[in-house]
Amino acid sequence: MSTLILDNRSVDGIGKAPTGIRGLDEITEGGLPQGRPTLVCGSAGSGKTLLGIEFLVRGAIEYNEPGVFMAFEETAHELTENVRSLGFDLDCLVADKRLRLDYVRVERSEIEETGEYDLEGLFVRLGYAIDAIGAKRVVLDTIESLFSGFTDHTILRAELRRLFRWLKGKGVTAIITGERGGEDGSLTRQGIEEYVSDCVILLDHRVQGQISTRRLRVVKYRGTTHGTNEYPFIISKRGISVLPITSLGLKHKVSRERVSTGIDRLDAMMGGQGLFRGSTGLVTGTAGTGKSSLVAHFVEAACRRGERCLYFAFEESPDQIVRNMESIGLNLQQHVERGLLRFEAARPTLHGLELHLAAVHQAIEDFRPVNVVLDPVTNLVQAGTQSEAHAMLMRMIDYLKSYEITTWLTSLTSPGLMAVETQVGISSLIDTWISLRDVETSGERNRGLYLVKSRGMAHSNQVREYRLTDHGLDVLDVRLGPDGALMGSARLAQEAKERADETLCEQEHRRKQAQIDADRKAIEAQLAVLQARLVVSEEELKVAATREQLRRAQAIKDRIAMAESRQADATDAQK
DSSP assignment of 368-418, as one string? --SEEEEE-GGGGGGGS-HHHHHHHHHHHHHHHHHTT-EEEEEEE--TTS-
Whole-number pLDDT of residue 10: 33
Whole-number pLDDT of residue 115: 43
d(CA 420, CA 108): 65
Q: How far apart are the first and last CA of the chain?
A: 148
Cα angle: 220, vertex 223, 226; to 5 degrees:
50
Whole-number pLDDT of residue 416: 57
Q: Which residues contact 206 (CB under 8 A, 6 or more apart)?
A: 212, 213, 215
φ, ψ for residue 207, nearest 5 deg: -130, 120
φ, ψ for residue 171, nearest 5 deg: 70, 25
What is the b/e burial string over 441-470, where b = at least 16 CB atoms within 10 angstroms of the residue's CB?
A: eeeeebbbbbbeebeebebbeebbbbebee
d(CA 124, CA 133): 15
Of the candidates 107, 108, 163, 175, the one whose C-alpha atom is nearest the C-alpha of residue 136 is 175
Under DSSP, is residue 282 helix (H, G, I), strand (E, B) or coil? strand
Whole-number pLDDT of residue 261: 93
Whole-number pLDDT of residue 2: 40
Q: Which residues contact 302 (CB under 8 A, 6 or more apart)?
A: 259, 262, 309, 370, 371, 406
d(CA 401, CA 533): 90
What letter represents residue 116's amino acid?
Answer: E
Give the start-end residues of each E strand in 209-286: 211-221, 231-236, 239-242, 258-259, 275-276, 280-285
d(CA 265, CA 466): 10
d(CA 79, CA 53): 9
Whole-number pLDDT of residue 209: 67
Whole-number pLDDT of residue 5: 36
Whole-number pLDDT of residue 425: 66
d(CA 450, CA 434): 6
d(CA 315, CA 348): 9
Q: Which residues contact 451 (CB under 8 A, 6 or more apart)?
A: 269, 270, 432, 433, 434, 435, 459, 460, 461
- Spans of the chain below 70 pLDDT: 1-13, 106-118, 147-153, 181-194, 209-211, 244-250, 383-384, 415-425, 442, 480-491, 567-575
Q: Which residues contact 147 (CB under 8 A, 6 or more apart)?
A: 156, 159, 160, 190
> How far are the Cα atoms of 24, 328, 330, 470 from residue 321, in angstroms, in the given order?
36, 11, 10, 15
Whole-number pLDDT of residue 121: 79
Whole-number pLDDT of residue 359: 80
d(CA 307, CA 422): 30
Contact assessment for residue 189 and residue 144, using Cβ atoms and an 8 Å cutoff: yes
Cα angle: 425, vertex 431, 435; to 5 degrees:
65
Of the candidates 297, 310, 312, the one whose C-alpha atom is nearest the C-alpha of residue 259 is 297
Whole-number pLDDT of residue 435: 92
